[in-house]
């Protein structure tokens, strides 16, 4: 049943969405390569990685990849605010795994956002 007070849902253009997903995966791959290059830089490498993570975060969130968006936010924080190369390195490794999962799925719609870690008591 629809609520008459709400606007009708937007139609989804599957072809356009598929193109966005393809572009997103290409951009993510390029961003990961740029992060690897920035990791070898002296001085401003972490700042560059933080900026790259910020850029990828937006497109990940737009396409519903919350885990990837959150990883990017964590990389940005660890790189820019805390200047912690070890944490950044570990987070980028996890980001690489998550992006590979999305790419392996083929349609770019791996349900990564549905997993909630168990709370320790």
Please give the CATH topology (third level) of the domain spanning 16-107.
1.20.120
DSSP conformation letters of 58-88: HHHHHTT-HHHHHHHHHHHIIIIIS--HHHH
Phi, psi of 90 (to 5 degrees): -65, -40
Residue 108 Rama label (left phi>0; alpha psi -120 to 50; beta): left
**What averages of pLDDT result for each successive group of 10 residues across the chain (121 residues)?**
69 80 91 92 85 94 92 96 94 95 69 37 44
Report pLDDT digits (tens) over 57-92: 999 998 889 999 999 999 999 999 999 999 999 999
* DSSP at 118: P
- Is the pTM value of this prediction over 0.85? no
């Amino acid at each position: 049943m629809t609520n008459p007070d709400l606007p009708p849902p937007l139609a989804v253009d599957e072809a356009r969405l598929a193109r966005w997903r393809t572009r997103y995966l290409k951009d993510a791959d390029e961003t990961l390569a740029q992060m690897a290059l920035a990791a070898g830089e002296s001085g401003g490498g972490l700042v560059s990685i933080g900026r790259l993570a910020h850029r990828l975060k937006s497109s990940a969130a737009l396409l519903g990849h919350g885990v990837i968006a959150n990883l990017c936010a964590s990389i940005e924080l660890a790189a820019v605010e805390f200047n912690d190369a070890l944490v950044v390195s570990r987070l980028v490794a996890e980001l690489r795994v998550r992006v590979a999962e999305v790419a392996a799925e083929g349609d770019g719609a791996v349900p990564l956002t549905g997993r909630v870690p168990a709370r320790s008591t």
